[in-house]
Amino acid sequence: MADSEAAVRQNQPVQHTPAEGSDSLEDRIRYGRMGSIAQQIAIALQVGRALRRLHGQRKAHGALTARHVLVDANDTVTRRGGGDQEAETRARTEDTEAFGRLLYEILSGEVRREASAAGQFEIEQLHKAGIPPKLIEATVRCLESPESGDLGRAVRILESELRNLVEPKQSAYEPTQLVVAALGAVTLAATLLWIAVS
């Protein structure tokens, strides 16, 4: 598991002092240095949790773009600027929409210079790239209805999708049950073969 995924799973806060050698998220996206889908989700999740904490304090970042997020060599996120002012609901809504844009950029690998309207994003591109549907849903909800409190829902979706990617999938059956089932199938096949030959 990458260091960023470990930090996210431990629910560590976003740093505010950039580590030596940090890149802007914008540069990482632009030059294709985002890593696996799990790493992308881990980075987005750190940003989403930081925004959720700010909003819980009735503050807003106010200038969230890929340029204002720094990422170090361990994929630990550091914010640059914003977040220290009391904010009205409108500013927090703008943060949620900006998070949707940021999530789109991370998942699509395409930096958007202008603040595009929700309808101007090519969501079909995310489908074609094989992005999990729940991540697309989180992105669209933040873009299309940011006032409805979808930041928290988006963060929960990111947490769930990251868990699904990094935790080993449990079989519905115990190993001994699988062996017994396999032996049963072999026995049945042998019996049918014996009947057919007789």
Question: Average per-residue pLDDT in the chain?
Answer: 79
Q: How confident is the model at residue 26 (pLDDT cuts 50, 70, 90)?
A: very high
In this predicted structure, the answer to whether residue 28 has a pLDDT above a threshold of 90 is yes
> What backbone torsions phi and psi does residue 151 show, to the nearest 5 degrees?
-65, -45
Report the share of the chain in percent with pLDDT over 70.
76
CB 67 within 8 A of CB 73: no
Q: What is the pTM of this model?
A: 0.72
Name the most confidently modeled range: 83-87, 139-143, 173-177, 194-198.
139-143
pLDDT, one tens digit per residue, over 68-124 is: 899 988 888 887 766 566 777 788 888 888 899 999 999 999 887 665 555 567 888
Q: What is the pLDDT of residue 8?
A: 45
Long-range CB pairs of 162-166, under 8 A, 24+ apart, other chains included: 162/5, 162/8, 162/9, 162/38, 162/41, 162/42, 162/45, 165/37, 165/38, 165/41, 166/1, 166/5, 166/9, 166/38
Q: How confident is the model at residue 15 (pLDDT cuts 50, 70, 90)?
A: very low
